[in-house]
Every structure is written in structure tokens, then in C-alpha cells.
Amino acid sequence: MMNEKMTKINNVKTIYSSFGYITYQYNKSLYVKVAKLTYEKFEDESFQYTFEPYYDALDVFNIDIPGIDLSLRKEAYYRVNLTPVFISERTTPKNRVNLREELKNQNMDYYQPFLLALDSRFVYSGDRLSLKSENFYEKDVPLYKKNKDLYKDIPLALKNLAARRVFFIDDTEINDKNRVHYLKIYLSIYKNMSNYYSEKKQKDKGRIKHTISDELLIEIRNQFIHGIINIDEAIKRSGLGSKSTFYRRLKELEKK
């Protein structure tokens, strides 16, 4: 019986089909396609879900798909005439009291689990996986174009790699054959950049603005203006650390 639930339907006419991408949200701005999920309904009222994993991305990010034994390394997994765990975890049950309200929020007139999960506003707390449409990626991921600013170039290249686009980095076409190689490289660079800017931000937050009384600063300024002390001595006595800080504080003083 279980085998029947996992065996592909053949030789029956398809009357409806739709697909989306099982997506791993790495952070607020990076979404990674980890599998294609297709829903089909047939003229005899049977239906099936087809999971087509992207093992390169699944391995890089160490992701599992609920209800699917990825250790089998199949090209496709089928769930026939039953709603798979991945979908049921991310949709409102049909017997839920507030189902009508949920359908309205999703702009739907009838209950269909696959469509309810596709680009849903509902966030499942169990993992970072969701079901996204191709339209989502078209809107969320700008086409890659080389940028001299690495802070912009690296994240954009990584977004396109995660969206599984075919594009060029310099003179190299990125495709299914070499994508995982570049995905690993750009993810590593991205992590290093993120760590650097995170640490820098923490250091900047931790800096304490040196305080000096207006009276003392005025005295040091006057001595500097009249040649009693040079700029290096003025900075040393004020404790302001640099010429730019010293002159900035003098400008602030003039505005008071």
C-alpha cells in the first residue's frame, strides 16, 4: 500500500499542473532553491506531488526535506493521493475553524494545500523552508551584472547562484555543471564579508566618544592659534586622537 503512495502515476491525462521551489532562507536577503516541487491532478481525480531535489545546494547548506529520505539520492520522489509532510506542516488543516479567513488572506476561493503553501505569508517555525514560485525569484533576485564594489557584487552573484540562474561571471558561464563550485566559493567569501562587517559594526558601537570640557578645549584652541603649542601637542592635550577629530570638535564648539 505504501509503495502505491510513492509510485509515479503513468498513462493518465493531466488536467492541472503547478510547480514551485522548496526554498531555504539563509538570512533576510538570501533565498536558496533546494528542490523543485510539482503538483499534478489527473482526469480520474487522482493527484501526485513530485519532489526533485537539488543535491548540490542541499549538501552545501546541510538541509533535509521533511518526509523525504534524501539518503536514497533519487532524481525524483513521488507522493500519490496524499498530502506530503512538507506541505501539511505549512498549511492550515481543512477542518480548522478559521480556514475561511486563511483562504481570504491568501486570496483563494477554495482549499488546495499546494496553492495554499505557495508564496504563503504563513511562516513555519520548525525550519527555514518554504515554497516559492518562479515569480518570487524574478522579483526578489535582480539579474547579475558585474559591480566593481565587491560589497554589492558578491551578494548579488550569490543570490543568482542560489536562484540557480544560468549567467556569466567574467567569461565563465554558470550552469548545473559548475554551480556548486562557485556556490561554495561565493558563500565562503560572503560569510567572511558578513563577519568582517558585523565585527566592525560591534567595534564602532563600542567606541566611546572622548569627552573634553568646552573650557579646556577653548584653552587648548587658543594656545594652538597663538603658536604656543603645535597641532600634535594640541591633539595630545585634548586626547582627541586625530587631526580630523580635533578640527571637527572645534567646529562643533563654534556652533554652540
pLDDT for 204: 54
pLDDT in tens, 108-128: 788 889 999 999 887 788 899
What single letter denotes the amino acid at residue 6?
A: M
Bridge-based pairing of strands 31-42 and 14-25 is: antiparallel
pLDDT in tens, 229-251: 898 888 888 888 888 888 888 88
Among 21, 18, 63, which residue's Cα sits nearest to residue 165? Answer: 21
Question: What is the percent of the chain where pLDDT is above 90?
Answer: 57
pLDDT for 111: 85
Bridge-based pairing of strands 31-42 and 167-169 is: unpaired
pLDDT for 85: 95
pLDDT for 80: 97
Among 28, 22, 34, which residue's Cα sits nearest to residue 59? Answer: 34
Whether residue 70 is predicted with pLDDT greater than 90 in this model: the reply is yes
- Which of helix, strand or coil describes residue 35? strand
